[in-house]
Structure formats: C-alpha cells, structure tokens
Structure 1
C-alpha cells in the first residue's frame, strides 16, 4: 500500500526539526551516520539526539555539532562554510546514497539554488550558499532524504506554513522574516501560508526547500491510516509547542475491494504507461529510470524491441498508482524523445509489506518483509535485505555483497524466529 508522510508544522519547519521527527519515528541514528559518511565531511561535525520538552510535550531534538565552530546549529544565517551548487551536487553524487535519497537531495538543493538565484539575480550555479552551504544544512537536507527513503515513504504532504515575523541576522545583514529565499520558494510552489502571531523566524530556507520540493501538496492531512507519529523539536521555546509532527501511515482507499484492509494479499488499481523509443542516446536511459522511480513509480523497466524501418529500440514501461500518472508522463516527455505514451489501468494482487531494521557487525540494514493473512495472524512469505544497504556496507568494508546479504538475513531470522 502507498506509504504516506504528513508534515504538520504549527511552528514552522527547519532541517533539524525534520531529522528529529524522523529519528523519533524510528529511523536509526546509526543508519544516518553511516550513510552521511559518504559525503566525505564527517570530520567536520558530530551528530547526537536528546529527548526534550516543549511546553510539556516530549520530542526529539537533533543536533549537528560543528567541530571547531563556535556557532549553534539553529543559527543558520551566521555560518560561513560557503559552497556553490556544483560543489554540493558533487558531494552528493559521490556519496553512493540510495537512489531516491540521492535524487531527492539533488532536487532540494537545486530548488533552493533557483530561489536564491532569483532573489539575487544570478544563475543557480553561481549562488554562493552561506547558511545553506554550511555543513549542518547539508546534513539536514541529505539526512532528511535518507530518513524518508529508509521509511519507504511514497508520498509526502505538508500543512500550510506559518509566516513568522521580525528580523534575523544573515550573511547580508539584517533581513525581514520571512527571508527572501523562503518567500521565493513559497511563490514557486504557490504555498499556502498564514500568521500564527509569533514574531520569530519559523521557516528556515532549508526547511522551506525540503517542504516545497518534496511535498506533493499542502493543506489538510490526506486520507490515511495513521501508524506512527514522530515529533521533532525546534531549538527555542515558543508560545506554541515548538514541534514538527511527522504523521506516518498508509493511504486510505475508499474504493478498496470487499476484504479487510489489513489483510494480505489485497487488490489495488495500478496504471501502466508504455512508450517505444528508437532515437534516444542510451546513456540517458539510466537517468530516466532513476528519475521516474524518485517521482513515485512503483517499477520501471525496459525491453529491447525491433521497430519500423528495422530500427532497434526499447519499450519503456512504468507501473504506478493512478494519481502519479500525470507527474510520471511529464518526466517521460521531458527526459526522452517520445511523442506519445499509452496508458491503461489494471488490477494487481499485492502482498502487504513493511520495512524492519537489523544490525550486523558492519552496520544497519533495512529488510523488506512480505506477508499473507491478517495483521494479527500473518505468515511471512518473503524476507529480502535492501540491495542499496548491502551495497553500501560491502563497499565500505571491502566485503562480498552476498556475504552482507547473508549476514542481514541471518540477523533477521535470529531476531524474529527465535
């Protein structure tokens, strides 16, 4: 079933609040630490979390302590670890991140660069990030994308955002809140905003970039069955509890078949998109597949075919939920040379599945579990460690991928079948 995340932001959104909510919702801190090492900047920061109270409510505060830096994490506008967009993109591309986390991270920084460039009247590649290029903000954005990917989120929604008020000290001097980059990001997405009466910076550029890039829509929560809530604390106390609440659940299907929604297998409607291509540089195919998957495709594959005039070509097939058809067709038209895409709806019988984490001596591995029966009486039918997690550990420790896969399976069986 489609896994949803809803960002409820009564006191705004910042990168550290997102990370705190994700860890509170179950993303292992150790997993984030291991994956972020691929950026090659781990000597410049230290991660830690703590449980704090905000107006009597318990939440998780995520800290990125900069080593050798006197500034606090929440003071985004006074850091001067400046970087340009190409340098940040190079760090991400070389980090060997999971496919979706990489695509999301690149998209968030690109969105922010476009906004900053528009504010300053320069090209996105020329933007010199002061606060957003800082080590802590890179960790915030990439870490948030890693956490959402680890949870297996398919769609992200966000509440309307509070405007805040007052002024904030930035690299260019005092600035009115909301700062120009945040306003531009809101404008780019036609984001709904309102005033809650708090005269503080409530939405940071990093938080605005995450929300406006990754959220499918803004406003009220989607129809969903809630499974877990993660609470990420902000840095200061406010009249309202300074907490970002992350709702996790599955899409509520009003037209579901006549069977229990928590049974497995279950019937669901899916869309199938097809197009044949014979004039596209083959080097583009890999990128197209990754872009479609990052945008919510359930599966993407190609087949070699013979076309008119005896030309060799490929058949590109995309499987997705019906509400993703428009977005995925737009990507296919943009990234390929196709002039038309066929679409049709089918039913598929699918097993329920979930993600669990196991720890082996080399690190943490996500394991996908599929089952039949009901939620209370279920029979495990398939257990598969995530390929990307095994790949990362194999590369880091110079191990055979099969050995890491075997150790993860063994750990899961020891953990669940004792």
Structure 2
C-alpha cells in the first residue's frame, strides 16, 4: 500500500518545523544525524531536539544551531559564520554525498526552485545570485533533512494545505522586508498556492518551507483521501494565539473497490506539448532522457498543426514530484515554448517482477494482480521484452517463442 502525507500549516511552514514533524512521525534521530553527516558539513552545525508545549499541545522542536568559526588576529578575537554558498556549490555538495537517489533528486529540485525564485526577485540568473538564505547551512540541513525523512517514511505522494500570509516585516540579508517576503511570493506564484490571512502579523512561511512544499506537493487544499496511520507535530519557535505547530498527516493511499477486489488510486502529472520543428532524432533522445529520469510513460502521436504542418504531440506521465525535472528536460531538449500540465487520478493493479527459468535461460515476467491473500487474482502476465530479446538473439530463435516459453514456465510453476 502506497504511503501518502499531508502538511497542515495553520501557522505556516519552515524547514525546522518539517524536521520536527518527521521526527514526531517516527524518523529515527540517529538516522537523520548519520545521513546528514554524508554531506560533509557537520562541523558547521549542531542538531538537537526536544518536546515543547505550544498552547497546551506537545510537539517536537528541532534546533539547527550554527557553529561559529573563530579567527584570531594579533590584537583581537573575531567571530563570524561560515560564508554563504552559491547554488552550484550546493548542488555539488548534494550530488557528491552518498545519499539515496530519491533524496538527492528531491533536494536538488527544491534548491533549484528556491534559486529560481530568488533570481526572479533580484533580476539575475540563478547561478549568479549570491545566496544568503539559500546558501546558509541551516537551509541545507532543513531541506536535505526533510527529504531524508520523507524517504525514510517511504512517502510516495505529498499534499499541503493552504498557507497563511503572515504580516509585518522581517530583517533579512538584503535589509528589512515585508512579510510574506518576495521569494515566498514568487514560490507561491509558481503553483498558484491558495493563501489566506489568519491574523498573525509575523513571518509564518519561510522561503525554505515554501520551497519544500511547492516543489514536492502534488496539490494544495483539503486533505486527500487516505487511511490515517500517524500524526506528527513539528513545533515552531514562537508562541501565537493558536498552536504554532505544523501537522504531518501520515497515511496509506485510498483504494477503490472493483467488485470484491481493490486497486490503488494515485495522482499522476500529465505533461503535454506539440512540436513541429524538431529533428526526429532529437525527439528519440528526449524520450530516452525522460524515461531515464523516472517518467512512468512517454509517448508521441502524429498530429496536424497550423499552416498544415505535420507535428507530434509529446505526452509524459510522471509522479507529481518529478514534474519539474521532466519539464526541464523537455524545455532543454526540444524546441517547444510551452508545456501544458494537469494532475489526474489513475487506478493501478499491484505489479511485481518474478524470475522464471525456461529451457532457453532465465528471464523475468511482470505479474499484475489485485486483491490480497487467498483472494489475490492474477489479471495479466507479460514477459519482459529485453530479457526475451537477449535470449532470442543468443539462441537465434523468434522472440515470440521465448515469450511463450516464459508464460508456459510461469503456469507450470504456480
């Protein structure tokens, strides 16, 4: 059963609140410490956690304390923090760490979104912005740590509530800024995030918190249908009129009954664009890149376009968390100027791969089924194409014969 979570943000969202909610949901503290240690910057910060009370409710508070670097001169003693990092430095830090692939993918996507927002605010390319908030050590810990926690909880889909705007002003690296700060507003714009005022005139949504939600959330609004298994509470730093707590709802995906059977319902993102001026070889390469990036399916259709031109409709189906990566590939590898995007629900059968021994060799078959236990019913089996092709070439016999032998072997092995 797929895992799903919902971030409820009545008093906003920040990176440390995400970490607190994940710890409260069961993420082992030492696992988080050890995984973050793979970045190689543990000398720059110290983590600690404690249970705190916010308006009568117990929640987990995570503190990311920056370590002060000391420098001595002949006649005085100076304290200063480690310098801010630029986006390329952060990307290299993450790529070179021995983190799980999904943690790297999510972390890089979040920092990229944050960098784009900051660059739009300052009017220069993302790689040229001298980041303070983005390059700060605590932002790296918050973002990568959150991705580590979501991966450990095996989250497949994440949703988020509407966000409170906050108010007042906050002191930042570029001076006194109105709340919500410009980078947060830019991030909200990218996903048309629903916002409202809860009357609290403080900074409630930080750029780091906004970037996490905007990048990873499949949608914003009410909680999705799920079977709730756990509620994690991550505390903010201040006390407000209402509990300053980020609530993480953890559950299992809703299933839909088909007679006496069940299928899993999940959200997928569908990307579409039509192209009439691209070399077919480039199209083929683009499809390869999208599949390699993790798209669930990629296909093209021949279409007639304006001025009677022949073209293709390129369609990509992917998990919502991978949508930005796929859009980047399409813009980079093709001549398109725009991509349509929509989220859809799909019902899927349970699928598993099983190795089967035949007289020609061992290959894998994909088994699709529904139901559980004794009621599990196999709906379809298909030999893996590449496995059959390898054996067909090796023995110089038709691909169809290898595929038939695989099904016969599976039937006799049941």
Instruction: Please report the TM-score for the alignment, with normalisation by the length of structure 1.
Output: 0.66
CA deviation digits over 1:151-194, x for unaligned, max 9?
Answer: 11111110000000001011111111011111111112111100
- Corresponding residue number in structure 2 for 1:28: 28
Deviating more after overlay: 129-138 vs 205-214: 129-138
- Corresponding residue number in structure 2 for 1:110: 112
- Corresponding residue number in structure 1 for 2:156: 154
- How do 1:246-395 and structure 2 match up within 5 A? 246-253=248-255, 255-259=256-260, 267-268=263-264, 279=281, 288-289=290-291, 291-292=293-294, 297=296, 348-349=349-350, 373=373
CA deviation digits over 1:181-214, x for unaligned, max 9?
Answer: 1111111211110000000000001001111111
What secondary structure, in the 3-state scheme, does the structure 1 residue paired with 2:17 have?
helix
Query: 2:228 and 2:92 mapped to 1: Cα distance?
Result: 37
Query: 2:6 and 2:335 mapped to 1: Cα distance?
Result: 35
Answer yes or no: is 1:188 the counterpart of 2:200: no
- Corresponding residue number in structure 2 for 1:46: 46
Alpha-carbon spacing, 1:328–1:284, altered in 2? closer, same or farther (3 Å) = closer
- Corresponding residue number in structure 2 for 1:204: 206
Alpha-carbon spacing, 1:178–1:80, altered in 2? closer, same or farther (3 Å) = farther
CA deviation digits over 1:62-119, x for unaligned, max 9?
Answer: 111212279xxxxxxx977311110010101001211111111001000011000000
Q: Give the counterpart of 1:178 among 161, 171, 180.
A: 180
Q: CA deviation at 1:47?
A: 1.4
- Corresponding residue number in structure 2 for 1:140: 142
What secondary structure, in the 3-state scheme, does the structure 2 residue paired with 1:62 have?
strand
What secondary structure, in the 3-state scheme, does the structure 2 residue paired with 1:216 have?
strand
Q: CA deviation at 1:41?
A: 0.2
What secondary structure, in the 3-state scheme, does the structure 2 residue paired with 1:130 have?
coil
Q: CA deviation at 1:149?
A: 1.1
Note if contact 2:68-2:82 (Cα within 8 Å) is conserved in structure 1: no
Q: CA deviation at 1:257?
A: 2.8
Query: 2:233 and 2:206 mapped to 1: Cα distance?
Result: 18
What secondary structure, in the 3-state scheme, does the structure 2 residue paired with 1:197 have?
coil
Query: 1:36 and 1:245 mapped to 2: Cα distance?
Result: 23
Q: CA deviation at 1:33?
A: 1.3
Q: CA deviation at 1:333?
A: 5.2
Alpha-carbon spacing, 1:79–1:287, altered in 2? closer, same or farther (3 Å) = farther
- Corresponding residue number in structure 1 for 2:63: 63
What secondary structure, in the 3-state scheme, does the structure 2 residue paired with 1:256 have?
strand
CA deviation digits over 1:301-329, x for unaligned, max 9?
Answer: xxxxxxxxxxxxxxxxx9978x9999998
Instruction: Please report the TM-score for the alignment, with normalisation by the length of structure 2.
Output: 0.66
Query: 2:321 and 2:64 mapped to 1: Cα distance?
Result: 35
Alpha-carbon spacing, 1:127–1:79, altered in 2? closer, same or farther (3 Å) = farther
* Number of equivalences: 312
What secondary structure, in the 3-state scheme, does the structure 1 residue paired with 2:60 have?
strand
- Corresponding residue number in structure 1 for 2:219: 217
Note if contact 1:268-1:350 (Cα within 8 Å) is conserved in structure 2: no
CA deviation digits over 1:37-57, x for unaligned, max 9?
Answer: 121101111211111110000
Query: 1:86 and 1:218 mapped to 2: Cα distance?
Result: 30
Query: 1:233 and 1:324 mapped to 2: Cα distance?
Result: 25
Note if contact 2:187-2:210 (Cα within 8 Å) is conserved in structure 1: yes
Q: CA deviation at 1:131?
A: 2.0
Query: 1:183 and 1:23 mapped to 2: Cα distance?
Result: 28
Query: 2:172 and 2:286 mapped to 1: Cα distance?
Result: 40
CA deviation digits over 1:274-313, x for unaligned, max 9?
Answer: xxx99469998996456326xxx4x99xxxxxxxxxxxxx
Note if contact 2:233-2:248 (Cα within 8 Å) is conserved in structure 1: yes
Alpha-carbon spacing, 1:142–1:327, altered in 2? closer, same or farther (3 Å) = closer
Q: CA deviation at 1:258?
A: 3.7
Query: 2:142 and 2:238 mapped to 1: Cα distance?
Result: 18
Alpha-carbon spacing, 1:58–1:124, altered in 2? closer, same or farther (3 Å) = same
Note if contact 1:79-1:134 (Cα within 8 Å) is conserved in structure 2: no
